[in-house]
Structure 1
Amino acid sequence: IVYGPLSVGATSVLYEGAPDTPSWSRWWQIVERYRVTILYTSPTAIRTLLRQGDEWPQRHDLSSLRLLGSVGEPINPAAWEWYYRIIGKGRCPIVDTWWQTETGAIMISPMPGATPLKPGSATLPLPGVVADVVDQDGQPVPPGQEGFLVIRKPWPSMLRTIWGDPERYRQQYWERIPGVYFTGDAARRDEDGYFWILGRVDDVINVSGHRLSTMELESALVKHPLVAEAAVVGRPDELTGQAICAFVSLKGSGPWDYDQLAAELRDWVAREIGKFARPAEIRFVEALPKTRSGKIMRRLLREIVTAREVTGDVTTLEDFGVIQRLIR
């Protein structure tokens, strides 16, 4: 993101502060003033901007944009559609990229203007990348079925070891499913071979034997017209093994009947996915805990619903006040 563009002579625009300071026009003012051509950001940032309404970007000339990018976590179709329609005006391809720090390069991504797009899908592996979706035994799963995302053959920028801990390197990346690189992500492929990244393997909730991706649940919630953002985690449950707990922030300022709205959202998810996916608990929040780069920190939410405290690493947390308000 820093060295790559600079190494090929691209101009990168840097700014200090937050996207809402002095107003939610901050990014769009920068695009208009400096004629920015490529915008590459996280789905969480996109959902945050979506929550503020269309009027902020519509005040500015965004015609210089020619390519939009998404990175860091799966993007839900509703956020994808807003990004494409409002920011790209229906003319900018969205490059939804899957990669890791460990891979050293983008691995799964549409080729701008060449790959037909599907909202929410990272589409296809780039040339030379041999990706697959497999079960615990390393066997490919049928189209539409969830499995583990793996890379079957080496690539030039792959990590070679973990500094000072080669045994951890072998165990974490190569021994979970022998013979392939284990990414730690869950995914599925559709009938066209497109990859749909579902999030980290530990972001899968098992409710009465039903394996549910947090991304799938969150996508269902943000389809509701009143929901701006959602984060879903599992908490222990004696009857079902795990129960679904959803943290939801709403569009606008209300007033809301939270009990009625919670019941409505539970029914909404049940209709979108199935009765087995109905959240056991919905918590309405002003904001979700995020890293400085905009990723939702679900592991902190898991700590809150299981232990009512946070003891893990919070050095990358953007605003600790969000956690304090959630614990109260």
Structure 2
Amino acid sequence: MNVTAFSVQGFERSFLQRANQTRHHLTLLDTPLSADTAHLAQGALAVSIFTRDDASAPVLGQLWDLGVRYLAVRATGTDNVDLAAARQLGLRVANVPEYSPYAIAEHAVTLMLALCRHLRQADQQLRANDFRLDHLIGFDLHGKTVAILGVGRIGGVVARILHGFGCQLLGVDVQPNPDLTVQYGLRYVTLTEACAQADIISVHTPLNADTQHLIDDELLRQMKRGVMLINTGRGGVLDTEAALRALKSGQLGFLGLDVYEREKPLFFADHSQELLLDDTFARLLTFPNVLLTGHQAYLTREALTNIADATLASLTAWAQGRPAAHEVAVPVAQKQPVA
């Protein structure tokens, strides 16, 4: 099968090539998919994309007209894919639902620890030969109440890790998992209750119409003053302007982000020789109690291996005329030719 993969980073090329083992003819492009670049998929039966790619209805229509019949998303989230349009066209879509919950969960806890012990400031001071400790007083995670918004596989691993720290755990999810209550004492509550009680809130919800700007001015006001907020889920769940207002007022005491709602023009590229034109992101960088990483929570050898293996497994299943194991958009009608 001819496959064109968009937004392929240098670090993932070897993982994709190793997983492929010459089963398919892979064209690996660092170019993001968009209406202007869709033509690069000419001659491909399948396309693979990442989170920053544009798989809106018009772009999917272009791909279909080029002969593309399969779309493999190298991520869990599919909020950048118009699944309804894919079904209507007959385009089959698969994602990677579980590449490493440990990678994301561990990164979320890393942000918590780095913030609560002021590690960013400590590193900066030492590099400037300033060995004072006056402004580096932190706090114990032990005994703190942590609310996990979205208690799926990743949220469950976060609960396991924080249980080991001796945290009191709250969960907010539409499908409570009673096993987490039994194993780690996690108590399911409403979003309002979580905001009122939590010292730390960790976000792991998907991005959809219900969660877009879920954390806004109103919800931030309901949180404890000085709360720590961690988001390693999707950037659009947090209204960044609202977060900036809460940081300025002191309502938000710490903010750790691996995702950003307008990250697509910024992340995964070198802009070191350019002016930072995103004023909102620039303002985030001015706060000493904000710690940002560039969508790297998933970036472990184990996760990259699993992403590549699952993506190639989907492509191989389609090439053999079988459904992929993790299809998220089954076409209304079977319009595509057998691969």
TM class by shorter chain equals: 0.3 to 0.5
Higher strand share: 1
TM-score after normalising by structure 2: 0.35
Instruction: Compute the TM-score of the two structures, normalised by the length of structure 1.
Output: 0.36
